[in-house]
Amino acid sequence: MDDKHAGFTLVEILIVIGIIALLSGAVVSNINFTQQIMKSYDAQRKGDLATLQKALEDYYNDANRYPTRAQICYTDEIEVGTGICQCLVCGQKSGSLSPYIPKLPCDPQHPKTDYVYKYQCANNNWYKVYTQLKSTPGGTQNYITASPNADSDTGLDAGYFTAGSYPQTATPTPAPTATPVPADMPTPTDVPPHTPAPTAIPTSTPIPPTPTHTPTPTLIPTATPIVCAAHMHLSAGVCVCDTSYGDCYADPGCETYLRTSTSNCGYCGHTCYSPYSLCIDGGCCNSSGSCLN
């Protein structure tokens, strides 16, 4: 008798154990992943209710009442007690509390679950908002935020967190739009004869006006100012010597050594101050005979 395959080999046993370990790890990981998602949903629910509570209290401070069903819910209300109503809240499907809150919150698992708004039907003097936490160790648990004057509450039945427990506000169905029926297409015999297109007559291009020449203004030369030499000034357009200065024959200037004389003394027609004497060239000399002009 051949007992070659009477049992499992060590390799086969190790392979089976490895496969079982992998499958067990995948199952545990999937459970942990789902639990983490539920925890994140519950954290969002608590944050949403805290934000909504602040908006409701701000509204009450201004209006002296809490919002009505039409302002905050997307379902019709149901009366769950004497004068006590409730309805469902979900984001853009609900009303608007602007500017107290830009957008009403919505449960992260909508439409499976929603936030429940419970209030006093007649005058809206108090409210409660309910949600369900899904990651609690004991299973689903009610979480409530309420106005300061609301009574204590243990929560709601699970059925109240879904829209199926509430009458829906009827949405008018728009009337169907009539589809226009196209006109009968002409048969080949109904096609009108071809009419040649009229020849377009070219329009003349307007000639732009000739620009007018603006003459360049002629510059009028200005007279060069007369600059007199030292000890001279301008008189009637001519440079003359200042007072106590006289003309010098040798050089067109004025000398301090000359003085005016009524007699024709020298070429300059002036007399010299002592101790200076007239030079031949019309200047004045000192006692050494050197000309000073």
258-293: per-residue pLDDT in tens?
444 433 333 344 555 555 555 544 454 444 444 444
Amino acid at 189: T
Residue 236's domain comprises: 232-285
Give me the amino acid identity at 185: M
Domain boundary among 139, 165, 191: 165
Determine, yes or no, domain membership for 219.
no
**Domain end (from 132, 165, 198):** 165
Residue 64 maps to a domain:
yes
Last residue of a domain, one of 165, 190, 216: 165
Same domain, 61 and 148: yes
Q: What is the dihedral of CA 257, 260, 263, 265, to 10 degrees?
A: 20
Residue 102 domain-assigned?
yes
* Residue at 117 is within a domain: yes
Do 267 and 157 lie in one domain? The reply is no
Query: Are residues 40 and 133 in contact, defined by beta-carbon separation less than 8 angstroms?
Result: no
In a domain, residue 11? The reply is no
Q: What is the pLDDT of residues 110-161, one digit of tens each?
A: 999 999 999 999 999 999 999 999 988 777 889 999 999 998 877 888 888 8
Scanning the structure block, which residue is given the tokens 């301090």?
A: 256
Weakest-pLDDT range from 3-7, 134-138, 148-152, 163-167 = 3-7
Residue 208 or residue 25, greater confidence: 25
Q: What is the mean pLDDT of residues 104-111?
A: 94
With a CB cutoff of 8 Å and minimum separation 6, the contacts of 41 are: 108, 109, 134, 135
68 and 158 assigned to the same domain: yes
Cα–Cα distance measured from residue 71 to residue 89, given in angstroms and rounded to the nearest whole number: 10
Say yes or no: 139 and 50 in one domain: yes
The total of structural domains in the chain comes to 2
CB atoms within 10 A of CB 162: 15
- DSSP-derived pairing of the beta strands 127-133 and 141-146: antiparallel
Same domain, 240 and 158: no
Q: Given pLDDT bands bounded at 50, 70 and 90, which one contains residue 169? A: low
